[in-house]
């Protein structure tokens, strides 16, 4: 009997290879990156060498040609070591690469997928100061002028922006049409009129860059249209459906790490002459944490398998993202308590995991938005 969380030999080998790589290359830098609030740039070429930045990109473009599920495993494994690096590879794979694969013209794929697979980081740019959950109220504008589009406006809270060289940008080409005027464009870092501005100083996932983008008469060639004019809302929605599974995987990896640290610590921490783990109260707390983690793993893997199977996974993606982010916050909080006073210090890893967990309920669709999606779908289903 094959269980939902059971991995094939290839999947297990890949997961363990990514985790071992992260332990060897990333873990020694985690605290330094968190304190500095930036990614160690020397890691990025290593991510490419490991094939982590183009998991689903076909081999003919220089990618691994693997499944969406494998990309999710990479995010989970990396996030066990550092959720900041987990989201870096997550955005690259589940948002940027997927958008090109699904919506890019043959020419765009030929031009950009080899770059994304081998050397250039991508970024996905939707949010603005006035359009967070209400993503389609965006103010960034585009007009067609001769042989190019001209973009004007700002984007906020853009992940990977400091490292990225290729940006997928949503702007409204026809404001009178409302959300049906939203269009997706491919912008390169050195395009005239485009710049990466303020970098946010964040509570958690501090090594993951989150920046403001500024477009001042930014010139975009006509051929850099991603999808069709006025179909950007479709690109955004369908890409984010997949991205939510990636964030769920990030939160799963974080929760798994918090649980592992808690188990290890309570086994060696002695109070009243016995390891703390020998006390029933602590055992029950660890058992609760383990149960939370397992439910999150089941939901994340199920949503990813459904996506690869080509069946409708929107509800399951929203559920996985909602639940995994709740689990990450809860398990990380309990892990801090397992460590007692030490858990509240930066000398132990659970303090950072607790800070990192909070963003899971906010980005790529808040928990309220996931609940709204789930409710809409279940109320439309025939019982």
Q: Does residue 13 have an active-site annotation?
A: no
What does the angle CA 89 – CA 91 – CA 93 come to, to the nearest 5 degrees?
65
328: which residues sit within 8 A by CB, 6+ positions away? Answer: 251, 252, 254, 255, 258, 296, 357, 360
CB atoms < 10 A from the CB of 340, how many? 13
CB atoms < 10 A from the CB of 308, how many? 15
Cβ(138)–Cβ(131) below 8 Å: yes
What does the angle CA 80 – CA 33 – CA 364 come to, to the nearest 5 degrees?
60
Nearest to 210, CA basis, from 156, 133, 283: 156
Instruction: For tokens 């660890």, name the residue.
Output: 286
Q: Which of the residues 10, 351, 364, 380 is marked catalytic? A: 364
The three-state secondary structure class of 144 is strand
By residue count, the chain amounts to 383
Q: How far apart are CA 184 and CA 50, in angstroms?
A: 30
Residues forming the active site: 364
């Amino acid at each position: 009997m094959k269980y939902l969380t059971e991995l094939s030999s290839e999947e297990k080998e890949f997961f363990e290879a990514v985790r071992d790589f992260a332990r060897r290359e990333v873990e020694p830098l985690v605290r330094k990156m968190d304190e500095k609030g930036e990614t160690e740039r020397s890691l990025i070429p290593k991510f490419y060498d490991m094939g982590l930045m183009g998991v689903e990109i076909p081999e003919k473009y220089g990618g691994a040609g693997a499944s969406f599920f494998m990309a999710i495993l990479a995010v989970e494994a990396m996030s066990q070591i550092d959720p900041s690096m987990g989201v870096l590879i997550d955005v690259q794979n589940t948002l940027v690469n997927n958008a090109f694969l699904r919506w890019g013209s043959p020419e765009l794929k030929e031009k950009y997928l080899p770059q994304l697979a081998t050397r250039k980081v991508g970024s996905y740019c939707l949010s603005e100061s006035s359009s967070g959950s209400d993503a389609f109220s965006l103010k960034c504008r585009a007009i067609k002028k001769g042989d190019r589009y001209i973009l004007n406006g700002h984007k906020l809270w853009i992940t990977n922006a400091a490292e990225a060289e290729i940006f997928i940008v949503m702007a409204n080409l026809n404001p009178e049409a409302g959300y049906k005027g939203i269009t997706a464009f491919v912008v390169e870092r050195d395009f005239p009129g485009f710049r990466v501005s303020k970098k946010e100083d964040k509570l958690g996932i501090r090594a993951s860059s989150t920046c403001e983008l500024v477009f001042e008469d930014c010139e975009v060639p006509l051929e850099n249209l991603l999808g069709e004019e006025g179909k950007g809302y479709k690109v955004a929605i369908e890409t984010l459906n997949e991205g939510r599974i990636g964030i769920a995987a990030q939160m799963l990896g974080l929760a798994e790490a918090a649980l592992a640290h808690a188990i290890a610590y309570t086994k060696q921490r002695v109070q009243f002459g016995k390891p703390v783990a020998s006390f029933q109260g602590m055992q029950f707390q660890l058992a609760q944490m383990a149960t939370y983690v397992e439910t999150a793993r089941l939901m994340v893997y199920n949503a990813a398998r459904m996506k690869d199977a080509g069946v409708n996974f929107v509800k399951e993606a929203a559920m996985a993202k909602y639940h995994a982010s709740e689990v990450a916050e809860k398990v990380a909080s309990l892990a801090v308590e397992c460590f007692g006073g030490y858990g509240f210090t930066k000398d132990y890893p659970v303090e950072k995991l607790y800070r990192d967990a909070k963003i899971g309920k906010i980005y790529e669709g808040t928990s309220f938005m996931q609940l709204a999606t789930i409710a809409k779908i279940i109320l439309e289903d025939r019982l």
